[in-house]
Structure 1
Amino acid sequence: MTSPSPAPGTSLRLFASLRRDTVGGGLLVIAAVVALIWANSPLADSYFALRDVEVGPAAWHLQLSLGTWAADGLLAIFFFLVGVELKTEFTHGDLRRFRTAVVPITAAAGGVIVPALIYTVLLISHPETLRGWAIPTATDIAFAVAILAIIGSHLPKALRIFLLTLAAVDDLLAIGIIAVFYTETISVVPLLASVAVIVVYGLIAARFRTFFVDRARAAWVILLPLGLIAWALMHASGVHATIAGVLLGFMIPALASRRRSGQDRQADDDDRPNLAEVLEHRLRPLSAGFAVPVFAFFAAGVAVGGLEGLATAFSQPLTFAIIAALVVGKPVGILASAWLVTRFTSAGVDPSLRWPDLAGVGLLAGIGFTVSLLVAELSFIPGSPEHDYAKVAVLSASVIAAVLATLILGSRNSRYRKAEGATLSVDHL
């Protein structure tokens, strides 16, 4: 007797659900919690053994542990989508008009600078930990947007746009920091070869964007192999391979395709998706449903040593510095920068937003998680006390920031809901 086949459309519904911010954020949390429980259970040795299993072709310098594959390989998919999103925003999104984008851009810069300064000041007497100064500079887009989606049913739509713009610029700055400050040795030939492949990739994508949109499979046949080659060469150069992901994302054309027949453009041109939309649509489920959760699973598993170990971790200056920088430094840097740019220039925030709303977003930006864990991996030797303390601090700060943001934005959501209800009541009179 054969088992029944899945109902038609089941896969489509699954992929559609994985494109929702709440689902991706939930999987991220579940993966991290499972890793923490496993790494602190009697079966902890099996977790670390799994993380350290090496696979891949040694001849190509790609015999890497599963944990490294997750951080260098799978996370490149996430950063590719970040690159596509940034390209779209700069091309025809909220970052296209400088006057509109200057407030969240400046706020993102403040949200990077102030946490780094707080971390450095608090640890100035501990020079062995200063290499981790960039750990609290990052914002986890997936996690932050997921929480906003869960609690923000009545919050102004402009608040989500502000958060997306801020987080996108924040990630761009974090990517630059990784490339400049966390690359120790560079092999020039593989790096130049990777850049050359990325340029060819961009030229092909730009030249045949209509062809790829109309026949999406061709994008996988031609662009995917080129992307993999660029990633492998970037990895061999010594530059963190996720940089290749964001550069490849930037190469994707984000403007709507244009077809012309003689002098007349077809009427349905504006309705056809561009290549950026096609790739984002297809890769988002892979990133949210597999790549980022798997990275979180291998990155978040730190043996805290029970209550005694947690007490030791929380007694460390490194732990306190990271938590203070993310939970306090992020919102202070974001709010102060936003206030200064609106106070001394003609720029302003959306009229529907209030400063308490931005305070909640500032706390959401304190959820470092994915990128902060990545920087922690790059800052300290895996398995060292500082490495484990940094991970405990990132996870703790992310939880604290998420709870505080939920309290503030939940209160604001209730206020907006009551205001909408009052407006509807007046309209019915």
Structure 2
Amino acid sequence: MPPHTPHGGAARHDDDPARTPSRLFQRGSWPEARFVADVLRTETVGGALLLLGAVLALLWANSPWSGSYAALSGFVPWPGGAALHLDLSLAKWAADGLLAIFFFVVGLELKREFVAGDLRDPRRAALPVVAAVGGMLLPALIYVGVTLGSGGEGLRGWAIPTATDIAFALAVLAVIGSHLPQGLRAFLLTLAVVDDLLAITIIAVFYTADFHPLPLLGALLPIAAFALLVQRRKTWWWALIPLAVLAWTLMHASGVHATVAGVLLGFTVPVLRRRGDGPGLAERLEHRWRPVSAGFAVPVFAFFAAGVSLRGTDLGAVFTDPIVVGVMTGLVLGKSVGIFGSTWLLARFTRARLDDDISWSDLLGVALLAGIGFTVSLLIGELAFGPGSPADDRVKAAVLAGSLASAVLASIVLVRRNSVYRRIHERETRDDDQDGVPDVYQRRPGAPQ
């Protein structure tokens, strides 16, 4: 039975690769499909916990007991750590410490994708990279355009609407898009990972205050020692964890945001496995630390970051504030138009066309979903305006509202598309054999080797 397009027609396959036009969102390999499925399962739970943490924070911050929430956020567990810049509140520990675990997993994901994943092929990598860049440039330009006349302070937040929250976006996709094509789901995952890399670069370059080069150079020593051990496949927790903590401490003391240490440590881990050594070390560490990141680190950060109080606030004044308008417009409009438009331009100028299984409506839904900017957007807002400042509170309200609007609009588009793909999936799986690998991931008889 020939594969079908989402519109019910038989898909045409051309066995001559020289005559086959370039396709966007082609179905990846079976190992890549299993990897994406594993990530989606973990991030679905993590996204639900993240949402729970944010809702609890909002309810507590707007309750009669809001003072206890503020006291908890501002509590300093180790007040004697000023010499090492570790006299941090619980909210700062969540933003600077726990998110380093999140970005360590991001570093592992990035290295795996570009060393052993389907994106080691530059032609496959071009699409999510171009889309990520377009999805960051346009929101930044929209924000600057909206806030340009409001004074210099507002412009510091230009990067807030550029980020995509990987946990939240993938959780929404897993709930509403269970039958969307694997190529589309892999695209969102890789787009979000590349987006995180660009966001970390922005944080390191544009939001570093009081830079101190000596601690930064010192941080390279434990990172190098960590790299030496993992390259030799020495996974002694009693050595690796202290080295990671020391690298994080020195990075924090340098003035560069400490989460950068997490990404650099992730980059040092080898991806390719030795013969007979089972899964690569990066994959093993990712499976071990992703549940910690998605199930604990990110939800706790969301709990401390999302608690904006709206009691006694003039909501009309808040949602006409240039910073709020810039963030919301950047997330909802800038992200969707930037990702959709850059992908369309790539197809236009390379004469590529969408894979037979995918329509432009699918891409619109995913582009809208990328407007969920929760975790990294809140982090950049704190770095831009200072935690607890009036501008930071407005940023939190804008990020929450913009992310919610993006999720709702994406759901409207993708729920309808998902029902179409469910019917196609039911037809295709009736003819699958029992070898554990769906037929769509196996070579067609007579196809070129």
TM-score (norm 2): 0.84
- Aligned to 1:411, the other structure's residue is in SS state helix
Confirm whether residue 414 of structure 1 aligns to residue 414 of structure 2: no
Shift of 1:203: 2.0
- Mapped partners of 2:204, 2:104: distance in 1: 15
2:327 corresponds to: 322
Confirm whether residue 157 of structure 1 aligns to residue 179 of structure 2: no
Equivalent of 1:62 in 70, 75, 86: 86
Give structure 1 regions of 4+ aligned residues with deviation exceeding 3 angstroms.
16-19, 346-351, 419-427
- Cα deviations by residue, 1:269-299 (Å, 9 ceiling, x for unpaired): 4xx1221122111111211111111100000
Shift of 1:24: 0.5
1:261 corresponds to: none
1:393 corresponds to: 398
Confirm whether residue 169 of structure 1 aligns to residue 194 of structure 2: yes
1:103 and 1:347 in contact (8 A); partners too: no
- Mapped partners of 1:421, 1:292: distance in 2: 36
- Mapped partners of 2:390, 2:239: distance in 1: 45
Q: Which structure 2 residues correspond to residues 178-327 of structure 1 after superposition, within 5 A?
A: 178-206=203-231, 208-209=232-233, 211-212=234-235, 218=236, 220-258=237-275, 268-269=276-277, 272-306=278-312, 308-327=313-332
1:88 and 1:254 in contact (8 A); partners too: yes
- Cα 1:18–1:58 change in 2 (3 A) is farther
- Cα 1:201–1:257 change in 2 (3 A) is same
2:40 and 2:171 in contact (8 A); partners too: no
- Mapped partners of 2:94, 2:430: distance in 1: 53
1:44 corresponds to: 66
1:215 corresponds to: none
2:343 corresponds to: 338
Confirm whether residue 124 of structure 1 aligns to residue 148 of structure 2: yes
Which has the higher mean CA deviation after the structures are superposed, 51-60 or 396-405?
A: 51-60
Equivalent of 1:92 in 116, 121, 125: 116
Shift of 1:384: 2.5
Instruction: List runs of 5+ in structure 2 lacking aligned partners.
Output: 1-37, 433-449
Letter in 1 for 2:171: A
- Mapped partners of 2:67, 2:392: distance in 1: 18
Letter in 1 for 2:300: V
Shift of 1:63: 1.2
- Cα 1:350–1:79 change in 2 (3 A) is farther
The aligned length equals 392
Task: Select the structure that is richer in helix.
Answer: 1
Shift of 1:350: 4.2
- Cα deviations by residue, 1:372-414 (Å, 9 ceiling, x for unpaired): 0000001113332211111100000010000111111101001
Letter in 1 for 2:184: L
1:178 and 1:240 in contact (8 A); partners too: yes
1:146 corresponds to: 171
- Cα 1:241–1:350 change in 2 (3 A) is farther
1:139 and 1:170 in contact (8 A); partners too: yes
- Cα 1:227–1:426 change in 2 (3 A) is closer
- Cα deviations by residue, 1:68-105 (Å, 9 ceiling, x for unpaired): 00000000000000000001001111321110110111
2:40 and 2:170 in contact (8 A); partners too: no
1:112 and 1:138 in contact (8 A); partners too: yes
What CA RMSD, in Å, does the superposition of the two structures yield over aligned residues? 2.0
- Mapped partners of 1:282, 1:367: distance in 2: 26
Confirm whether residue 133 of structure 1 aligns to residue 158 of structure 2: yes
- Cα 1:381–1:273 change in 2 (3 A) is same
TM-score (norm 1): 0.87
2:99 corresponds to: 75
Letter in 2 for 1:122: V
Shift of 1:305: 2.0
- Cα 1:424–1:181 change in 2 (3 A) is closer
Letter in 1 for 2:207: Y
- Mapped partners of 1:19, 1:55: distance in 2: 34
